[in-house]
């Protein structure tokens, strides 16, 4: 198209846009939004890990506390992070507990319901 540009500039722009190379079809690749790839991962194996780890959850104020089987909190937190939900500020995992910090109580309530749904859906699969 007549534009002079370096590979380094293209690579930097791809990173800045949050694109990742993903396989589609038979050996064909294309760039996709990282958020779309994270969502796909959350619906697959990560969902199963979350469902297997999940024991219970409750929310209070802007926090959701997820209880897991011993040693499984980090996997569960990874599933929460992979959701990429707006309003979730972050998560902290211990051995059997995950704290999810949300912007406000409304977001915490919505995330709480979504996590219950993930646990049920994963257990039915």
- Where do runs of H (alpha helix) occur along the chain? 7-16, 34-42, 45-53, 73-83, 105-124
Other Cβ atoms closer than 10 A to 93: 20
Q: What is the pLDDT of residues 73-93, one digit of tens each?
A: 998 998 888 777 889 999 999
The radius of gyration of the chain from alpha carbons, rounded to an integer in Å, stands at 18
Q: What is the pLDDT of residues 33-59, one digit of tens each?
A: 766 555 565 566 777 888 899 999 999
- Spatial separation of the C-alpha atoms in residues 70 and 64, rounded to whole Å: 18
Specify the pTM.
0.63
Other Cβ atoms closer than 10 A to 88: 19
Lowest mean pLDDT among 4-13, 37-46, 65-74: 37-46
Q: What percent of the chain has pLDDT over 90?
A: 45
């Amino acid at each position: 198209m007549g534009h002079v540009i370096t590979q380094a500039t293209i690579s930097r722009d791809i990173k800045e846009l949050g694109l990742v190379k993903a396989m589609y079809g038979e050996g064909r690749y294309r760039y996709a939004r990282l958020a779309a790839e994270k969502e796909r991962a959350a619906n697959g194996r990560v969902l199963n890990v979350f469902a297997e780890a999940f024991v219970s959850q409750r929310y209070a104020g802007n926090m959701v506390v997820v209880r897991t089987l011993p040693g499984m909190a980090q996997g569960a937190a990874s599933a929460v992070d992979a959701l990429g939900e707006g309003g979730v500020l972050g998560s902290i995992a211990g051995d059997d507990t995950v704290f999810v910090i949300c912007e406000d109580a409304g977001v915490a309530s919505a995330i709480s319901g979504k996590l219950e749904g993930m646990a049920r859906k994963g257990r039915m699969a």
